[in-house]
Amino acid sequence: MRVVIADDEERARKILRQLLEELEGSFDLHLVGEANNGKQLLQVLETHHPDIAFIDIRMPELSGLEAMQACMKAYPEVIWVVVSGYSEFEYAQQALRLGVFDYVVKPVSSEDLQRILTKAIALKQQTKMQETAQLERYGMHLLHAQGEGTFEQNVWDSQDEVLPLFCVFDACSEKVSNQWGMCVQEIRSILSHLDELKLCIGGMELSEGEYCILMAGVSRHELQVQGKLLAQWICRKSDAFHRLGYAVTVFLAEATEFSHLHQHLGAMKKSSRERIFRGIDTYHVLLTQEQDIKEQLTDSCFALVAMYQQHDYMQFIQELVSFKLHCETTQMSAQEKGCLRRFLCNVFDLDVQQESTLLMVAEAIRIQAGQRIKPEGDGHRLIQQVVSYIDAHYQEEIGIDRLSEYVHMTPNYLSTLFHAQMGKPFIKYLTEKRIEGAKHLLVLQPTLPICEVAHQVGYASPRYFTKKFLQITSQYPNEYRRYILHSEMQKE
C-alpha cells in the first residue's frame, strides 16, 4: 500500500514515519512521499498516486481539507485520513462531509495506525473485488449484446478505455483430460498477484480453450505498458500450462473504448488462427494490416485437430490427404514452416527430429492416427459394448447419436466401425433385434394387440412396424402369430 504524509511540522511527520516503518512488514507499506503544505501535497499526489494519505488540517498555503477537496475528483481511489491536533467537533464534521475515511487526534499511537490500516486494506480489497466483478459483467454484456442494450449502473462507461488480452490454449490431444478448469484457475492465480497495479483486471472464460482478460482504470499508455508486461508474464508461466496439457498463446491489441470491445475481440479471435504460423507459447501484437492467412491450409489444420480430438480417425485420415496437399502448394517462409511444425508436434504429442519436414510430420501423425483404428482389440471390445447396450435398450428410442455419446465417439466413426465389426449397418442390426423381440411377444402373449407389440419393441407407428416385420419375415405380424400357434397345436 502506497502511503503519503502531509504535515507542516517536521516532528509530527517523523513520528508518523517511524510508526509506519514499524508496521511496514505487517501491512506491506511503502512511504512514497511527504509534504509540508497543501500545495506540495497536490504535487506529491500527482507524482506518486498513493493508496492512502495521512494529512494534517492546518497547513500553510492550502489547508489539508482544502487540498483534499481539490484532489478527490482527480484521485477518487485515495483513502484520506485526517491526523490533527484539533479535536473540535467542527473540524471533524467538515472532514466527514468531504468523505474522509478516518479522523484521529494527535499524538497518533501504533494501535491507531493498525486499526486504520486494517480497515483501509479491507476497503481496498472490497472495492477492487466490486470493480473487477463489474468489469467482468460489463465485458460479458458488451460481448454478448454486441455493444448494444442497456446495463446496470456501474463505474465503467462505454467511452472508458479497456485493453483486451485474448489467450488461446491448444490442448495436447494425447495428454489432456478435463484439465481446462485447472488452466482457468492458473490464469486467475496470475491475475490475483496484480493487486498492487493501479488498474482493474478481470477475466472471462469465452469457451473451452479461450480466455479473455480485460484491463481498465488507467490511461491508454499505461494500459499498453501493463498489458505487454502481463502478456509476457503469462507466457513465462507456460511450463505450468504444459503440465496441464496445454500450450498458451496471448494476443495483445491496442486499448479501445468499451463500446468497441465486441468488434475488437472478434478481430483478435480471427487473428488468433495465425498462431500456427507466428508461434505458440508466446504473445503477439494484433496486426492491423491485412495478412496472408493461408486460409485453406489454416482451415485444414484446425479441422485435423478437431477430428483427432473427437476420435473421428476415419475422417481424420481423409482430411490429412488434403492437409498434405495444402502444405505442398502453400507458400511459407522457413519461420512459418517451423512454427506450424511446432504447433502440430504440440497438439499431436509428437517427438520428431528437428530437421523433419512438414510432410514427414504429417506422415508421423497419419501413423499415430492409424494405430487408433484397430479392427480387433479395442475396436472389437467397444462394439461388443455397443451391442450389449442395444440388446438391453432396443425397446427405447435409440439412435447412433445416443450410442456415440455412450462410448464418447463421433457418430460417423462409430457407424463405420460398427459396420466393419458386425458386417451390417447399425440400423439393420437394431431393426432385426426389434423384430426378433416382436416375434417372442406375438407368441408368448397371443392376445396382445399388434399396436402394443410395436410399442414394446420401440416403434411408435404400428404401420411402420408392420412394414419392417413384413420386410424381414415375409409375413404380417398376425400371419406369423397364427402360423406359429397353429404349428405348436399340431405338435401337441
Domains of the chain: residue spans and CATH: 2-108 (3.40.50.2300), 143-285 (3.30.70), 295-370 (no CATH), 378-491 (1.10.10.60)
Q: What is the DSSP string of 135-185?
A: HHHHHHHHHHTTT-S-----S--TTSEEEEEEEEEEE-TTT-SS-HHHHHH
The CA distances from residue 37 to 16, 113, 114, 231, 261, in Å, are: 16, 22, 25, 41, 44
Mean pLDDT over 43-61 rounds to 85
List Cβ<8 Å contacts ≥24 apart for 111-118. 113/19, 113/20, 113/23, 114/23, 114/26, 116/81, 117/1, 117/23, 117/27, 117/29, 117/52, 118/27
- The whole-number average pLDDT for the span 49-60 is 85
Q: Name the range with the highest mean pLDDT among 118-127, 214-223, 422-431.
A: 422-431
Measure the CA–CA gap between 297 and 187, rounded to whole angstroms.
31
Tally Cβ neighbours within 10 Å of residue 25. Answer: 8
Residue 435 pLDDT exceeds 80? yes
Alpha-helical (H) ranges within 330-410 are 334-347, 358-370, 378-393, 400-407
* All cell numbers assigned to 53: 494519505
Average pLDDT (11-15) is 89
Average pLDDT estimate for 185-208? 81
Q: Does pTM surpass 0.75?
A: no
| Predicted confidence band of residue 178 (pLDDT cuts 50, 70, 90) | low
- pLDDT > 60? residue 374: no
| Element of type H or E holding 81 | strand 79-84
pLDDT top residue among 29 and 468: 468
Q: What is the pLDDT of residue 28?
A: 80
Write down the mean pLDDT value for the chain: 84
**Alpha-carbon distance 132 to 55, whole Å?**
29
Evaluate if residue 135 carries a pLDDT over 80.
yes
Place of cell 479491507: 122
The pLDDT > 90 percentage for the chain reads 30
Most confident region among 57-71, 90-104, 182-196, 226-240 by mean pLDDT:
226-240
Residue type at 35 in one-letter notation: A
CB atoms closer than 10 angstroms to residue 58: 15
Residue/partner pairs of 390-398 with CB below 8 Å, 24 or more apart: 390/429, 390/430, 390/433, 391/433, 394/430, 394/433, 394/434, 394/437, 394/457, 394/458, 395/434, 395/437, 395/456, 395/457, 395/458, 396/458, 397/458, 398/430, 398/458
Average pLDDT over residues 110-136: 85
Say whether pLDDT at 150 is over 60.
no
What would the grid cell of residue 358 be? 512438414
